[in-house]
């Protein structure tokens, strides 16, 4: 969820959504269904859009329960030739949520709702998938602890390994994309979902941690470059070709660092709007820890790389 803050707007928070506005939301959703279908077929589209809808509705329902001024989700369709068919969705917040307990609830609700759907779809999709030799000219989706364990449970072995990996059913691939999107959203920086949770948990200390984590993003990219260069060289590539091979898989970490910088510059220079002084409850501390643990489980250091 991305908060598009409009502090000057003061509409009635409980006013019904007009027909024209509903048509915009429905039209964008329908367009995203079409573009994701063109990219990966109906199974892929239905699975991915279900995950995204549940993610956004998690935010929306909890925000409305707290009477927060939140819009319905705006889905973002993209041409399938240059993307997966969608960039996800955004929800507009008419003003920041200053109550730390409410902020944590709203920030955590989306990822938890999305994962509650993505994980069962992952196991079902894997059960419909088959093992196949790794194609040297293909692409290898990245492993997280949760994804690797799911393949271990379904196939009885850690994959990829022995020259084989899972030939993913479109549902399984959509679920993997859902895990990846959730992982990105849960990076505990700025106004990403993880940033909302971390700000609510840490209060003003979150600004310091955001700055440190922001600097860590390109460092992670550098570690990915070094590790993949060694792996590619061990697979037979020369040092120069191995280095070039490693650059594309590490690029997302640099892009995310740049996007966070842009988001910060577009705001007031801070990573996240200020929150109140009232600390979160003990139950919400446990919720924040749960969210952090889930982020570790789905953390994917190399989202996608060419096969060797």
Residue ranges covered by each domain of the chain: 100-306
pLDDT of residue 1: 38
pLDDT of residue 261: 86
pLDDT of residue 4: 37
Four-CA torsion 182, 186, 190, 196, nearest 10 degrees:
110
pLDDT of residue 271: 87
Residues of the chain with pLDDT under 70: 1-17
pLDDT of residue 12: 47
Is there a contact between 104 and 281 (Cβ–Cβ < 8 Å)? no
Region for residue 78 given its phi and psi (left: phi exceeds 0; alpha: psi -120 to 50; beta: otherwise):
beta
pLDDT of residue 267: 73
- Global confidence as pTM: 0.91
pLDDT of residue 8: 35
Is there a contact between 277 and 204 (Cβ–Cβ < 8 Å)? no
- Helix, strand, coil % in the chain, rounded to nearest 5: 60, 10, 30
Q: Residue 165, SS3?
A: strand
């Amino acid at each position: 969820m991305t908060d598009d803050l409009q502090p000057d707007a003061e509409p009635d928070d409980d006013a019904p959504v007009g027909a024209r506005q509903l048509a915009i939301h429905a039209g964008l959703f329908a367009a995203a269904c079409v573009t994701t279908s063109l990219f990966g077929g109906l199974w892929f589209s239905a699975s991915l859009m279900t995950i995204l809808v549940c993610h956004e509705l998690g935010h929306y329902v909890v925000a409305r329960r707290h009477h927060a001024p939140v819009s319905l989700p705006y889905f973002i369709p993209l041409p399938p030739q240059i993307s997966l068919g969608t960039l996800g969705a955004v929800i507009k917040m008419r003003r920041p949520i200053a109550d730390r307990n409410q902020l944590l609830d709203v920030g955590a609700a989306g990822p938890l709702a999305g994962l509650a759907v993505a994980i069962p779809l992952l196991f079902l999709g894997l059960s419909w998938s088959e093992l196949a030799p790794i194609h040297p000219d293909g692409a290898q989706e990245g492993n997280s602890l949760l994804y690797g364990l799911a393949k271990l449970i379904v196939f009885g072995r850690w994959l990829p390994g022995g020259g084989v990996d899972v030939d993913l059913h479109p549902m399984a691939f959509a679920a993997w994309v859902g895990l990846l999107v959730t992982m990105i959203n849960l990076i505990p920086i700025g106004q990403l979902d993880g940033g909302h949770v971390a700000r609510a948990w840490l209060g003003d200390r979150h600004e310091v941690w955001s700055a440190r984590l922001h600097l860590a993003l390109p460092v992670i990219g550098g570690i990915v470059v070094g590790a993949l260069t060694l792996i590619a060289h061990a697979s037979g590539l020369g040092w120069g070709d191995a280095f070039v091979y490693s650059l594309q898989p590490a690029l997302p970490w640099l892009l995310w660092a740049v996007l966070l910088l842009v988001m910060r510059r577009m705001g007031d220079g801070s990573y996240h709007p200020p929150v109140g002084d009232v600390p979160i409850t003990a139950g919400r501390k446990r919720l924040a820890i749960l969210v952090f643990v889930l982020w570790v489980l789905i953390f994917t250091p190399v989202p996608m790389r060419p096969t060797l």
